[in-house]
Structure 1
Amino acid sequence: MTTSSPSLLEALAAQTQATANLIRVCLALEWTVFSRSMMSVVTIAFFYLVYLIFTLRNVRQPLTVWEKLGKPVIKPFRPWVYSFLLGKSDPYANSIDMRVSTLSRGFCTAIMRDRHRNRNPFKSIHATALATFAETVGGLALMSQFKRRDRAILVSLSVKYLKKARGLLTASSEYTLEKDLTGSHEIQTEVIIKDRMLDTVAKMTLNWKIDVQES
């Protein structure tokens, strides 16, 4: 009994050590496979993102660009990439820190952060920044319905400033073009800007001249 007990304990210790070593090897192998898989996904996503930016940089249809950036691997980066591409086609939009959050046919919402560069002497967001924000959102909502050869130009606008704008702002615009509309027309769209408390801080009315081509 005195001889077999140490042998049994030694065998148990050896078995435990072997099991621990096996678990470490399995974990190391699994981590290696996982890390390699993640690196592959990141690499593919990066090159695909570069490809999309290159191919979409001159596309004039905002909804097409938005939908192209909706692929599963790219979608988490869509607001930033879309903002970058928007800044290339509309450089003045880079003067405000805005991100499109929703874009569908005839509808757009976006957010604008409260940055020091957007502020006025009264410690609120400058009226011009609000106007730029609203004009951009209204334009995206309208042009999301356009075909490749359709055009729109802003001819006038009016803004009602209802409250000092501070903090994160959300702008939304919705407009549906008449079905089978063709030719030159003047239309009016509206953009509402709200703050974190869902209070309306500004309303903008945009008057557009549009030229819609036949399908």
Structure 2
Amino acid sequence: MAIDFPSHEYGSLSPLAAAAYEQMQATARLVRVALQLEWTIFTRFIVGVIVITLLTVVYLLFTLRKARQPLIIWERLNKPIIKLFRPWIFGRLLAKADPYAESIDLRVATFSKGFCTGFMRDHKRNRNPFKSIHATALATFAETIGGLAITSTLGKKDRAILTSLKMEYKKKARGLLTASSDFTPPQYTVGRQEVQTVVVIKDRMLDTVAIGHFDWAVDTKED
């Protein structure tokens, strides 16, 4: 950014012009050094954030890989920066716990006690001959979301086993789909009891494309 004048022209400048020229050169050098310093600090900061984020993701994937309570995993992923990757990380852990769920492109969007929503993208591998999403893909989507909603209300030693399901198909499913399940748990007692969950699947137009009804055998144990 330095401004160079030929020596013969510089010699012909008045003292005031020469002083102004020297001031311009000094300012240009100062700005250049400041920009280089700021860029170096900014670059180091960005690289540091990326490295820390990657290490944290690896650490969480390793430490949470055997966790059995999905809601606790979801809440532990609620950290700065990591939260941006929470749906993907949770999806990887979910696929490890339930490999069949990986057959659909499922991501959990919101998750709290008794409530879960998620979305599924439309891929060719999940389509039927009629160019809409296959019925079994919709059932897998609904069962996974409903299962998360019910397991979020259980204790560490409790288990929920699917005993029956019924799917109502209202409309051909195409494009991005969302599913939601709002489960109000009963007063659990030690032993086995039957509970039901309902999952509603909608498309981008908010039209209901399918409704899933699921019966679960919940086996609760003393803590």
TM range (shorter): over 0.9
What residue number does 2:54 align with? 46
Q: How far off is 1:179 after superposition?
A: 3.9
How many residue pairs get aligned? The number is 213
The amino acid of 2:41's aligned partner reads: V
Q: Secondary structure at the match of 2:133?
A: coil
Structure 1 residue 68 corresponds to structure 2 residue 37: no
Q: Secondary structure at the match of 1:192?
A: strand
Q: Secondary structure at the match of 1:138?
A: helix
Q: How far off is 1:41 after superposition?
A: 1.6
The alignment's TM-score, normalised by the length of structure 1, stands at: 0.95
What residue number does 1:138 align with? 146
Q: How far off is 1:57 after superposition?
A: 0.5
Q: 1:27 aligns with which of 31, 35, 40?
A: 35
Q: How far off is 1:130 after superposition?
A: 0.2
| Higher alpha-carbon Rg | 2
Q: 1:108-164 deviations in whole A, cap 9, x for unaligned?
A: 000000011110110100000000000000000000111110001000000000000
Q: Secondary structure at the match of 1:170?
A: strand
Q: Secondary structure at the match of 2:14?
A: helix
The amino acid of 2:185's aligned partner reads: L
What residue number does 2:15 align with? 7
Q: 1:126 aligns with which of 134, 139, 147?
A: 134
What residue number does 2:106 align with? 98
Structure 1 residue 78 corresponds to structure 2 residue 86: yes
CA distance in 1, matches of 2:189, 2:51: 45
Tell me the C-alpha RMSD between the 2 structures: 1.4
Between stretches 38-47 and 92-101, larger displacement belongs to 38-47
| Distance change >3 Å, CA 157–CA 180, structure 1 → 2 | closer
Structure 1: stretches of 5+ with no match in the other structure = none
The alignment's TM-score, normalised by the length of structure 2, stands at: 0.92
Q: 1:75-100 deviations in whole A, cap 9, x for unaligned?
A: 10111111111000000001000100
Q: Secondary structure at the match of 1:214?
A: coil
Q: How far off is 1:27 after superposition?
A: 1.4
Q: Secondary structure at the match of 1:72?
A: coil
Structure 1 residue 113 corresponds to structure 2 residue 127: no
Q: 1:58 aligns with which of 43, 66, 70?
A: 66
Q: How far off is 1:181 after superposition?
A: 3.6
What residue number does 2:4 align with? none
Q: How far off is 1:183 after superposition?
A: 2.1
State how 1:160-199 maps to structure 2 within 5 Å.
Answer: 160-179=168-187, 181-199=189-207
Identity fraction in percent: 59
CA distance in 2, matches of 1:47, 1:167: 35
CA distance in 2, matches of 1:195, 1:127: 14
CA distance in 1, matches of 2:16, 2:194: 93
